C-alpha cells in the first residue's frame, strides 16, 4: 500500500490498528514494537512526477494524524523538490567526475606504455643495418606519435572536465544558497505559527469538545437505558413467576440474564462518568457539607451489593463531626467508588471498614477517609497501577480491585481536583486500605481545575 501510494503520487494514512502488512514491515525494519499511526505524502514535481516521499510515525504516543497534518506535510514536501533536484544534480556530477578520473588514469597508463614502446623501437632502429627498409618502422613511429598527442589532448580535456564538475556544485551557488536559506526561514516561521495555533486551539477546544462528547454519550445512554430497563423488568416478572412457574435450570438462566444486564448498566454508567468527568471538573464548587449525610447516601447506594454478599460494615466515626468545605457531588462520588470497589473485591461474608478522622498538618485541617476491605490484598507490583484508568483491562486476574477499576481512577481525579491526595496500602492475603485526604477549610477550588 505504501509503495503504491508513493508511485501514484497519493497521500496515505494508516491507523495503528490497521491490519496492513506495511505497519508490521515498518516495525521490523525500524526496530519498533509499535510504530504507531502512519502518515505518508509523496514529493511531487511540477510535472506530477513522484521523486520520493515523507513519512511520519507516532511510536511513542497515541497521536493520530489529521487532515490538517496531511495538508501541512504536503506543503513541506513541495518545498523539498528543489533541494532534492540539486542533490540529484550533485550526485550526477560526482558520478561523472569519478568516471572522468578513471578515464584519465587509464589514458595515462596507455601513454606510458606507448612512450616505452616508442623508446624501444628507437633503440632497435639504431642497432639495425643502415641499408635496411625503414619505411614500416617510420610509419609505426608516426602513428605512435599521433596517438600520444591525441591521448595527451584528451587527458587535458578530461582534467578540465574533472575540475569543472568539482567546482560546479549548484548547492554552493550564492544566489541559490540565499534562496535556500530564505525558504528554510519561511518554513521555520510557518512551523512556529502552526505550533502556536495548535497550542491555542488545544487550550480553547477541549471544553467544547468534551461538552459535545458528553452530550452525545448522554443521548446514546438514554437510548440504551430504555431497552435495558425493559430487559430487567421482564426478567423480574419471570423471576417473580407471575407468568408461569420456572424450573431450577430456567431460574438459573434468567438470574444470569439479569446479572449480565445489571453489569451492562454499570459499565454504561462508568462510560458516562469517564466521558463527562473533564467537563464536571470545571464546575466544582466548595460548600459546607455534612459528612454524615454523605456517608449515609453512599452506604444506601451500595447497600444492595453488600447485602447480596452478606458483607458486614464497620463504621469508625468521630463523636462530633463538623461540616467540611468541599464539593458535595465530588465527595459523594469518591466515597461511592471506594465502597463499590471494596464490595466488589471483598468475598462472600467478608468485612468492610469505613473510618473517618480529622488531621492537622502545617496549620491546615484535613479530613481523612479510609475504606478497608478483606479482598486478599493487592500484589506490590500492581500497586502503582491501581488508579490507572481502565487498568483492569490489561490484567483481569489481579485480586483486590473491583471489576473494571474505572471507579478508582475517577476517585483519584476528583480527589486531586480538590487539592487532596489518595493512596492505597495493602497487606497480601488480608486486604487493602484506600485513603483519601481532603482539605477541610482555607482552600478555594479554582474555576476550571484540570487533571
Angle at 243 between CA 241 and CA 244, to 5 degrees: 65
Report pLDDT for 14.
Answer: 83
Judgement on whether residues 255 and 296 belong to the same structural domain of the protein: no
Domain with 326, as residue range(s), is 288-439
Residue 303 shares a structural domain with residue 200? no
Exposure on the CB side of residue 144, measured as CA atoms within 13 A: 19
Residue 223 is predicted with a pLDDT of 75
Q: Is residue 76 a part of any domain in this protein? A: no
352 phi and psi, to 5 degrees? -125, 135
Write down the pLDDT at residue 312.
Answer: 92
User: What pLDDT does 372 receive?
Assistant: 93
Name 366's bridge partners: 359, 439
| 250 and 353 both lie in a single domain | no
64: which DSSP letter? Answer: P
Residue 269 lies in a domain: no
Split into its structural domains, the chain has a count of: 3
- 431 and 318 inside one domain: yes
CB-based contact 373:427 (threshold 8 Å): no
Q: What angle do CA 67, 72, 76 make, to 5 degrees?
A: 145
- Which residue in 319, 322, 198, 221 sits closest to 270, CA to CA? 221
Residue 99 lies in a domain: no
Query: What cell numbers appear for 424 in the block?
Result: 492505597
Full-model pTM: 0.47
Q: Which residues of the chain have pLDDT under 50?
A: 129-134, 168-172, 391-396, 442-451
Same domain, 292 and 256: no
End position of a domain, from candidates 44, 65, 86: 65
Answer yes or no: is 25 within a domain. yes
DSSP 66-95: -HHHHHHHHHHHHHHHHHHHHHHHHHHHHH
Residue 90 lies in a domain: no
Distance from C-alpha of 162 to C-alpha of 165, rounded to nearest angstrom = 5
Residues 186 and 247 in one domain: yes
314 and 377 both lie in a single domain: yes
Contact 6, 48 (CB under 8 A): no
Asked which of 16, 43, 65 is the last residue of a domain, the reply is 65
Amino acid at each position: 500500500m505504501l509503495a503504491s501510494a508513493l508511485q501514484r503520487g497519493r497521500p496515505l494514512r494508516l491507523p495503528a490498528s490497521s491490519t496492513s502488512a506495511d505497519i508490521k514491515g515498518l516495525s521490523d525494519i525500524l526496530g519498533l514494537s509499535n510504530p504507531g499511526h502512519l502518515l505518508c505524502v509523496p514529493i511531487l514535481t511540477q510535472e506530477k512526477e513522484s521523486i520520493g516521499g515523507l513519512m511520519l510515525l507516532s511510536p511513542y504516543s497515541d497521536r493520530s494524524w489529521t487532515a490538517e497534518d496531511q495538508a501541512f506535510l504536503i506543503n513541506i514536501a513541495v518545498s523539498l523538490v528543489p533541494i532534492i533536484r540539486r542533490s540529484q544534480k550533485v550526485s550526477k556530477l560526482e558520478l561523472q567526475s569519478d568516471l572522468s578520473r578513471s578515464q584519465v588514469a587509464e589514458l595515462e597508463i596507455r601513454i606510458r606504455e606507448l612512450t616505452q614502446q616508442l623508446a624501444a623501437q628507437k633503440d632497435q632502429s639504431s642497432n639495425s643495418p643502415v641499408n635496411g627498409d625503414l619505411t614500416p618502422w617510420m610509419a609505426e613511429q608516426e602513428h605512435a606519435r599521433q596517438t600520444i598527442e591525441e591521448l595527451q589532448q584528451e587527458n587535458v580535456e578530461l582534467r578540465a572536465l574533472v575540475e569543472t564538475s568539482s567546482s560546479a556544485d549548484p548547492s554552493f551557488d550564492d544566489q541559490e544558497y540565499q534562496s535556500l536559506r530564505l525558504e528554510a526561514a519561511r518554513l521555520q516561521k510557518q512551523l512556529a505559527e502552526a505550533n502556536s495555533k495548535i497550542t491555542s486551539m488545544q487550550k480553547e477546544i477541549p471544553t467544547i469538545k468534551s461538552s459535545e462528547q458528553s452530550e452525545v454519550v448522554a443521548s446514546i445512554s438514554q437510548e440504551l437505558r430504555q431497552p435495558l430497563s425493559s430487559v430487567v423488568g421482564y426478567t423480574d416478572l419471570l423471576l417473580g413467576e407471575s407468568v408461569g412457574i420456572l424450573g431450577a435450570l430456567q431460574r438459573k438462566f434468567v438470574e444470569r440474564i439479569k446479572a449480565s444486564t445489571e453489569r451492562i448498566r454499570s459499565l454504561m454508567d462508568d462510560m458516562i462518568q469517564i466521558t463527562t468527568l473533564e467537563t464536571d471538573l470545571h464546575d466544582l464548587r466548595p460548600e459546607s457539607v455534612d459528612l454524615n449525610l454523605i456517608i449515609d447516601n453512599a452506604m444506601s447506594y451500595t447497600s444492595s451489593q453488600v447485602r447480596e454478599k452478606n458483607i458486614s460494615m464497620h463504621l469508625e466515626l468521630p463523636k462530633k463531626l463538623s461540616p467540611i468545605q468541599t464539593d458535595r457531588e465530588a465527595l459523594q462520588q469518591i466515597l461511592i467508588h471506594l465502597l463499590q470497589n471494596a464490595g466488589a473485591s471483598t468475598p462472600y461474608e467478608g468485612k468492610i471498614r469505613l473510618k473517618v478522622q480529622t488531621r492537622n498538618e502545617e496549620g491546615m485541617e484535613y479530613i481523612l477517609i479510609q475504606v478497608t476491605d478483606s479482598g486478599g490484598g493487592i500484589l506490590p507490583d500492581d500497586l502503582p497501577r491501581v488508579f490507572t484508568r481502565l487498568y483492569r483491562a490489561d490484567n483481569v486476574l489481579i485480586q483486590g480491585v473491583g471489576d473494571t477499576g474505572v471507579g478508582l481512577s475517577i476517585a483519584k481525579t476528583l480527589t486531586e481536583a480538590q487539592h487532596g491526595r489518595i493512596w492505597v496500602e495493602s497487606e497480601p492475603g488480608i486486604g487493602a486500605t484506600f485513603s483519601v485526604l481532603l482539605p477541610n477549610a482555607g482552600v478555594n477550588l479554582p474555576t476550571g481545575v484540570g487533571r
